[in-house]
Structure 1
Amino acid sequence: MKVLHTADWHLGKKFSHRDREQEHHAVLHWLVQYIITEKIELLIVAGDIFDTDNPPNYARKLYFNFLKQLVNTCCEDIVIVAGNHDSANMLDAPKELLKMLNVHVVGHISEDRAAQIIEIRGKEEGTLKAVVGAVPYLRDKDIRKSISGETYEERVENLRSGIQQHYQEIETALKPYQRKNIPVIVTGHLYAAGGDRVEERKNTIHLGIGGLGIIKAESFSEDFDYVALGHLHRPQRIDKNRPIWYSGTLIPLDFSELNYDQVVLTIEFEAKTIVKHQSVKVPLKRKIRTYKGTLEYIKEKLSNIEDEVELDTWLKIIVETTHYLPDLSNDLDEIIQGKPVEIIKLEQSKTQDTSIDNTAYQNLQSLQDLKEIEVFRMCAQQKGQIETEQLGELESSFKELLGWMQERDVE
């Protein structure tokens, strides 16, 4: 049996206020064609189909059109679970209708764990081919009762116990299938310990199950033949000895996701054994790049940028400079004029200038030791070397503003 595992589509996602409709349309079209070409029999989408709980209409249309295109193809079953970005209610709303097309949706969990056990039999309801324990993103209220006065540590431990208990109940519900010599697959949308988060997001820890490294590989039963996870955007295996995988995203969702490929995972089973596991690189219609360096380096990069692209290239530019460049944006716009390029983010990064004398401030212990104008000068220096004439004009404006604020305080 051939299975395709994907997750974290984030349909409706914006990138610096720009929508991703064209990119998502292209990548979902490619995914349909790949599924048909490779004769995929089961598709698993492990959460975060949408980016928000109230996605724009075009995102919903992309979702339903994708499912429609797979009707009457080799992909006879589709399993979709909700992620932390999804509205479980919205996903569940058409589930009975979609079930008639062998699209099995689990947004919410129910009291009966059997409702999360999906038998994969194909459209003709023939021989049992596989079984899926469909576990969506588990919200706090889904798995435990709030306890008044509990500490942060107690809450984390209670969350851990609740989620482990849920997977133990799924394991129990799947026990009867272990003797049938078919793949037993389980899904999840969470942060499992051992997974590598995207660098720029490592400082953000959410007090929710999806944001905590609350589950270890040992929490998933060895009776599970494959665990299909979503939530982390980097494709990865969290335990080298166990088939527990994150598929990652279909397209890079921000500039922090450019250092690795976007892929889908294909798994081929013979009975319960994985005989082939493959990461398939997703072709991208838009290039997203980060350039960092001196102004001369940046100008050279922009001058030689590729012209033959389907969608405009989006850039993040970081110019390393010893002094502030007030006309930088206009200068760079002139270089890319007429090119299929858009600068999405422009930053100036100060490099050390030995000509700046900080000795006057080295012995000062706190802001109370400084006059307002001295604080202003220090801030100006931190932004980069400013020409004497410019600094004088800025100081005059600052003093005028400071005087106005002091007069207002008196009033």
Structure 2
Amino acid sequence: MIELDQLSKTYIQKDGTKIKAVDAVSLKVAEGEICVFLGPSGCGKTTTLKMINRLIKPTSGRVLLNGEDTSGIDEVTLRRHIGYVIQQTGLFPNMTIEENITIVPRLLGWDKKRCRERAIELMAMVALDPKRFLTRYPRELSGGQQQRIGVIRALAADAPVLLMDEPFGAVDPINRESIQNEFFQMQRQLNKTVIMVSHDIDEAIKLGDQVAIFRAGKLVQFDHPDTLLARPKDEFVGAFVGQDHTLKRLLLVRAGDAATTPATARPDVQLEQAIALMDDQDSRYLTITDNDNRALGYISRRDIRGLSGVGGDKVKPFTVNAAPDENLRVVLSKMYKHSTSWMPVIDADGSYIGEVTQDSIANYLSSGRSRGQKQLQAA
């Protein structure tokens, strides 16, 4: 875990004027999480990042790594154990890709075989063929490929913490999305604790477990991305996340979060009782489940009106359903594609979780609830 405790940086001008670049910033980033620093130019986000590995020395406050005050750790040792990625990649032009990747492991005394194995392992994670690229020089790679090398070089020594200063900002949009996806999968696999500076709200909500919004050196809001979009703290944060912040939430909220749990019935339900259940919940359909709560299909009011018998004889299979972890953007896309206003939520074992409707999605997004709030309550 990384903790910033009242971290501040003050610069003194030639005329003696004091400028507070960072003003008493406090936050905690749990192990294995990605935290994104956001804010306008000059807001203090990059200065805060650089104080974590003491590229900039704090004026006051503390940085704690797993509870240990890093001011007591030698600077060289600290930086060797915290990976660092910058926008321009910072690759050494006179070194091969393999030499660039393994520079810190070699400084730490790793043997040649171990260094090479680590380089090959990391190259595979970013979809670059080691046989083709390890012997090349940075100038022989595209900008996107160089950025991939910059990221895995910071991971080569297996440091638990990774600092990233606008790592994908100089990459074109198509390659940037690809690199973001590769990085996210790699981070989840390696369980690194990451703090990243970005200027892109879409990147922040896509990658971040937590997002910190800075303004004039102060930390304005620190929240889960969905909480940030659902409840901006003030007009500044609201303007920064954009007027389409509700639509952005569609990528963050899962079907399981927005699902409701209407009444269901077993296959032996009498059709008269099924009609009564639909009347009670003002619905045109009723989901049928077995004794193990596995979804079998549904019956509709229109199909059984005026009939007698049991529901199992009139069950229709679901033509489309949502998985609990699918985001609402995917869910709505499925709804529009299949011209339906509702969809059952069914897990990998076939168990019925609930249903999402266009109304339930709208109600969730307008309610002020958020995934971040749920996670906080669960903890």
Please report the TM-score for the alignment, with normalisation by the length of structure 1: 0.27
Q: Which has the higher contact order (CA 8 A, sep 6+)?
A: 2
Please report the TM-score for the alignment, with normalisation by the length of structure 2: 0.29
Q: Which has the higher helix share?
A: 2
